[in-house]
């Protein structure tokens, strides 16, 4: 799961990224409002943490423009302003939750988890497809009594495939969601990890298999 952090205080943004990493969330940082808006509309994020006071475009405007463009991304707003009218404006603009600085990290994680669940982005501990199960806490992929632990990138690829099941996941989506918008990953990175996962599915004697949609992406199918 990838979270967008739109915050011009780089030290705070990096602290937020470390907090999210402890919950197995990947994240990217945007320090300007206009940059954050473009990333919000990219479709590669599962949620966003949005500050109000930003250069380029304030957080209220960012959110209003994103919602007007049809972006339904769950958004947690952060601000130093505690006045009721500011909270009302944030919620009216389309924020799912409003948190005032300074905040407690546990409250932040609880609030983020709540808005992700409401929007259907929160994932259960175990994902299932056909005869395979992916434990999101231990990174174990299992089939019947057999199980094997996945490396981090293998897990992230398999997680996205299992979330989408028989729906094709474009290769570009895998690249952006796993390696990020600023990553240096090449197309063959995805192919390499797909190959690793196919070998592990074979070792598990699983009926589930990864199918290539030529020139498009990948999806899961039961053999």
pLDDT per residue as tens digits for the range 24-74: 788 899 999 999 999 998 888 889 999 999 999 999 999 999 998 888 899
Would you say 50 and 88 are in contact if contact means Cβ atoms under 8 Å apart? Answer: no
**pLDDT category, 80, cuts 50, 70, 90?**
confident
CATH code of the region 126-222: 1.10.10.10
Quick one: which of 53, 147, 31, 133 has its CA closest to 100? Answer: 53
Look at residue 196 in the predicted model and tell me its pLDDT: 95
Look at residue 184 in the predicted model and tell me its pLDDT: 54
Look at residue 30 in the predicted model and tell me its pLDDT: 95
Q: Boundaries of CATH 3.40.50.2300 in the chain?
A: 2-118
Chain Cα centroid distance, residue 178:
9
Measured CA distances, 191 to 19, 58, 180, 204, 216 (Å): 31, 40, 17, 20, 12
Share of the chain above pLDDT 70, in %: 91
Q: Boundaries of CATH 1.10.10.10 in the chain?
A: 126-222
Look at residue 43 in the predicted model and tell me its pLDDT: 82
**Which range among 36-45, 92-101, 175-184 shows the weakest confidence by mean pLDDT?**
175-184
The residue ranges of DSSP E strands in 101-216, in sequence order, are 126-129, 132-135, 140-143, 146-149, 169-170, 208-213
Would you say 162 and 129 are in contact if contact means Cβ atoms under 8 Å apart? Answer: yes
* Domain 2-118 fold: Rossmann fold (3.40.50)
Question: Please, what is the average pLDDT of the chain?
Answer: 87
Average pLDDT over residues 130-144: 92
Look at residue 99 in the predicted model and tell me its pLDDT: 86
Would you say 93 and 60 are in contact if contact means Cβ atoms under 8 Å apart? Answer: yes
Q: Which of 16-20, 172-176, 197-201, 219-223 has the highest mean pLDDT?
A: 197-201
């Amino acid at each position: 799961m990838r979270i967008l952090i739109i915050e011009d205080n780089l030290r705070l943004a990096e602290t937020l990224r470390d907090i999210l990493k402890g919950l197995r969330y990947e994240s990217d940082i945007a320090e300007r409002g206009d940059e954050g808006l473009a990333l919000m509309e990219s479709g590669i994020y599962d949620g966003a943490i949005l500050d109000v006071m930003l250069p380029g475009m304030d957080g209220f405007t960012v959110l209003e423009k994103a919602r007007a463009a049809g972006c339904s991304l769950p958004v947690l707003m952060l601000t130093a302003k505690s006045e009721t009218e500011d909270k009302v404006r944030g919620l009216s603009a389309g924020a799912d939750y409003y948190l005032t600085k300074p905040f407690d990290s546990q409250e932040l994680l609880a609030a983020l988890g709540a808005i992700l669940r409401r929007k259907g982005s929160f994932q259960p501990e175990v994902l299932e497809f056909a005869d395979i199960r992916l434990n999101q806490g231990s990174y174990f992929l299992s089939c019947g009594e057999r199980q094997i632990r996945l490396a981090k990138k293998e897990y992230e690829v398999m997680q996205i495939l299992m979330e989408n099941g028989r729906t094709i996941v474009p290769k570009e989506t895998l690249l952006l969601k796993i390696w990020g918008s600023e990553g240096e990953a090449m197309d063959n990175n995805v192919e390499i990890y797909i190959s690793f996962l196919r070998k592990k599915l074979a070792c598990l004697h699983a009926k589930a298999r990864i199918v290539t949609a030529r020139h498009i992406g990948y999806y899961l199918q039961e053999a």
